[in-house]
Structure formats: C-alpha cells, structure tokens
C-alpha cells in the first residue's frame, strides 16, 4: 500500500535546560546555525522553542522566551525555512508569527493560555495541539487514566479539538500530538504508541515526538539499571519512526534529522519495489 512520507520536524531548543541538548543552542547564532544544519540534512520544518518542557522544568519569564526565539525565527524564516514555534504563550505565538513562523506547536493544546487559540484563529498558521494535563513541574502527578491510555488521550484531545474549532481554527489547520512523555509513565508511552489508531481516528493529522525520550533510555538500560544516555537512543527511535511511517502519521518531531531521513529513504525505496 502506498503511503506518503511523514514530514520531518527538526528540533531547535534555544534553552539552557532541555533534556536532550540544553544549553547547546542557547546562543542565538549557534541556534541559527543548528537550524541551518537541520535544513541541510533534510528537515521539512524547524521547531524553535524557548521553554524546556522536560519533567520538572520551571518556566522562563515571557520576556526571556521571546528574547530566545524571535531572533532565531526571524533569521531562519528569512532563509525560507518553514518555522514552527514551540510555545504555550499567546504573546510568544503572536510575536513568532509576526517574525515569520507558520506553525504554532502548543504542548498544552490551548489549556495553558486559551488566548493562544485566538492568535492562531486570526492568522493563517497551522496549530499543533498536544495532549497535556499540567505543567512540567507537576505533570507526572497526573498519570492516572480511567481506561486504556490511547482511548483516554483521544477523548481528551477530542475535547481540545472542540475548543480549537470554537475559537475559529478550521480543521485543515489543526494537527494533533498524543504527547509522549507528558503526564505518562514509560509503560503508558508504549501503550499509547501501540494504540495510536485511537488518536488517528479523530480524523486529523498526527505529529509524534518520541525522539530521545526517557522511555527509550529505560528500555535500553544497562545491567546496572541506568537508562541509556540521551545521545545513544537514536537506533531505537529509528525503529519507532519506521512503524510510525507505516501507520501514516503526518509528521515526526526529531533531534537527528539525518538519521530520520535515512530511515524514510529506505522505506520509500522498499515501497517502490512492491
């Protein structure tokens, strides 16, 4: 069966404390350079974020977040990149769109700052709504689900879709993200991936971000029980990308664009022989 290739969203964390590369690209010029490298490696979208959402992270001030992301977005958008802003704040989303972003990737799905929906509705931007229950410093207190995880996630996302539509954002500009790692245990992440059809059955494009997350490190733990280091989880992530591509997801959010494009090139070549 023929399938379309998932879009590859490359991550540019302009933060001091993101779990995978915190501090590496906090400097504006380094962040811009990293974004350009990801484009050269085949990223379709660059996701620029100025707030870490790793478990336990505290929020920066809005002024800090703006100062981190706006210069990077401005430069990369001028290069012609399709830029996404990873933010939960309406103020930051508005500034990012003015700077040239075309996508608002809101991990809270509009729950952290409902005004963000009005910002998106008043623009032509695509809106990515992730499944979310609480901010990073408390989210692991909310891992209780009253049924199969995928079914509950789909139900709660359906509620967010209703709010997004009510704000005036049309379906052709809505993308859903099941929120791996957000208010979910490691086992629940695997259950969610296995049951992803429940989210896809909502009838909207789906973005999945599994790259380098802790549940992969836990799966690959050594004899001492310590999770595999963050930068040694890419082969496991490649396996997930293979499965997700076959399931027809809209996009994958990744740190290693080159490896992901290699996986997708193999899938496309094999498909061409069938």
Domain regions of the chain by residue span: 7-272
> If we measure between CA atoms, which residue out of 13, 4, 2 comes closest to residue 253?
13
78 catalytic, yes or no?
no
Q: Decide if 184 is catalytic.
A: no
What does pTM read for this prediction?
A: 0.93
Which one of the listed residues 184, 213, 214, 233 is annotated catalytic?
213
- Report yes or no: 51 and 108 within 8 Å, Cβ to Cβ: no
Instruction: Domain 7-272: give its CATH code.
Output: 3.20.20.20
pLDDT for position 27: 87
**In the block, which residue shows the tokens 């700052």?**
113
pLDDT tens digits along 187-225: 999 999 999 999 999 999 999 999 999 999 999 999 999
Model pLDDT, residue 17: 58
Find the catalytic residue in 184, 233, 253, 261.
253
* Average pLDDT over the chain, rounded to an integer: 93
């Amino acid at each position: 069966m023929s399938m379309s290739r998932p879009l590859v969203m490359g991550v540019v964390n302009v933060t001091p404390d993101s779990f995978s590369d915190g501090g590496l690209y906090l400097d504006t010029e380094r962040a811009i350079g990293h974004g350009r490298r990801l484009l050269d490696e085949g990223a379709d979208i660059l996701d620029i974020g100025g707030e870490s959402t790793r478990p336990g992270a505290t929020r920066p001030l809005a002024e800090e977040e703006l100062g981190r992301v706006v210069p990077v977005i401005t430069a990369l958008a001028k290069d012609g990149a399709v830029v996404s802003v990873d933010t939960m704040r309406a103020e930051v989303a508005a500034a990012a769109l003015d700077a040239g972003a075309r996508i608002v990737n809101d991990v809270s799905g509009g729950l952290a700052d409902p005004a963000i929906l009005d910002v998106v509705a008043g623009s032509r931007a695509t809106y990515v709504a992730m499944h979310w229950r609480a901010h990073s410093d408390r989210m692991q207190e909310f891992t209780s689900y009253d049924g199969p995880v995928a079914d509950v996630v789909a139900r709660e996302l359906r509620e967010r879709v209703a709010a997004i539509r009510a704000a005036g954002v049309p379906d052709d500009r809505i993308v859903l993200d099941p929120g791996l790692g957000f208010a979910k245990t490691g086992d629940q992440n695997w259950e969610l991936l296995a049951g992803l059809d429940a989210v896809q059955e909502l009838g909207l494009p789906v973005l999945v971000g599994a790259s380098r997350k802790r549940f992969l490190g836990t799966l690959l733990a050594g004899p001492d029980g310590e999770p595999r280091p963050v930068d040694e989880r890419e082969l496991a992530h490649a396996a997930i990308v293979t499965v997700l591509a076959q399931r027809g997801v809209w996009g994958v959010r990744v740190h290693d664009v080159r490896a992901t494009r290699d996986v997708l090139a193999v899938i496309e070549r094999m498909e061409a022989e069938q």
